[in-house]
Chains A and B, each alone.
Chain A
Amino acid sequence: MVKAVVFATLLIILPAVAAGQNSEAPALALKDLRGRTIRVSDYKGKVVLLNFWATWCPPCRAEMPDLVKWQRQYRSQGLQVIGITYPPSELKAVRQFIRSIGVNYPVLLGSEETKLLFDPGKTLPFTVVIDREGKIRDKIEGIVLPEEFEQKVKPLLQ
């Protein structure tokens, strides 16, 4: 009961306080697939793409090969993609999928509340662009198209 009330309250409050553009990215500490705690703030100094995704989401799966390609191509320029799973997600399915496409960036286990910190909507995939200073520069709903990467991410890498 208490859990339900807390969750309902979060649903009401979080959208109102979801981090806006040019604001400091919220402090996030989530477990990765090996159970290690990863802090997004550890990547300060890099251009971070926080990509919310789910194994059951067709466009999420469709865009991931591009994220893998960009991570490989722009790693040396400071790009860091971080995947955050959205429920319901089975650890086994997540592991199988990321192995099948050769994901080359950390994948953290998220929740609905994690996404609510950035966005009140339910659209997936959803990607948050964070600059080297740790500020949110953009939020991209749906697949990150190559032209969006060019316009919204590449300038931050220079």
Chain B
Amino acid sequence: MQRKRVIALLVFTLVLALGAISVSAATKTARIKVEGMHCKACATSITKALKATAGVEKAEVSYETAEAVIQYDDQKVTEAKLREVINGTGFKAVGD
């Protein structure tokens, strides 16, 4: 009886752990260099467009570092799509 309980507990813990792993595996961070920003306000349109993209969980765009840091669900959106969204705001996503 005791042994069954231990096994059940182990299985339960394993299920929880696997669930957590699959969730974290779906969330990725992309760092994309952006060309063409000439003032802080430029970041507004890029941030807005990224946040409106399905699958984007968090987006921060910095004029100072000319970089967009995006947390996204890779089951819903790809990095290539994120680059496309940035390019669609009139700026240019550079690098790989």
**A contact residues vs B (CB 8 Å cutoff):** 56-63, 121-125, 141-143, 145, 147
- Contact across chains for A145 and B36 when beta carbons are under 8 A apart: no
**15 A-B residue pairings within 8 Å (CB atoms):** A57-B42, A58-B90, A59-B90, A62-B45, A62-B89, A121-B41, A123-B41, A142-B48, A142-B49, A143-B45, A143-B48, A143-B49, A143-B89, A145-B48, A147-B52
Partner of A142, one of B36, B40, B44: B44
How many chain-B residues does the 8 Å CB contact rule pick out?
17
A24 CB, nearest partner CB in chain B, Å: 27
B19 at interface, CB cutoff 8 A: no
B33-47 vs A: 1/0 string, CB under 8 Å?
000101111101111
| Least CB separation from A124: chain B residue | B41
A-B pair number, CB within 8 angstroms: 45
CA distance A59 to B41 in the complex (A): 10
B90 CB, nearest partner CB in chain A, Å: 3
CA distance A59 to B40 in the complex (A): 13
**B contact residues vs A (CB 8 Å cutoff):** 36, 38-42, 44-49, 52, 88-91
- Contact across chains for A123 and B89 when beta carbons are under 8 A apart: no
B83 CB, nearest partner CB in chain A, Å: 15
- Contact across chains for B42 and A58 when beta carbons are under 8 A apart: yes
By a CB distance below 8 angstroms, the chain B residues around A123 are 41, 44
By a CB distance below 8 angstroms, the chain A residues around B39 are 122
- Contact across chains for A59 and B52 when beta carbons are under 8 A apart: no
| Least CB separation from A145: chain B residue | B52
By a CB distance below 8 angstroms, the chain A residues around B91 are 58-59
- Contact across chains for B48 and A61 when beta carbons are under 8 A apart: no
CA distance A145 to B91 in the complex (A): 16
CA distance A124 to B89 in the complex (A): 12
By a CB distance below 8 angstroms, the chain A residues around B38 are 56
By a CB distance below 8 angstroms, the chain B residues around A56 are 38
By a CB distance below 8 angstroms, the chain A residues around B47 are 142
By a CB distance below 8 angstroms, the chain A residues around B90 are 57-63
CA distance A62 to B49 in the complex (A): 12
By a CB distance below 8 angstroms, the chain A residues around B45 are 59, 62-63, 125, 142-143
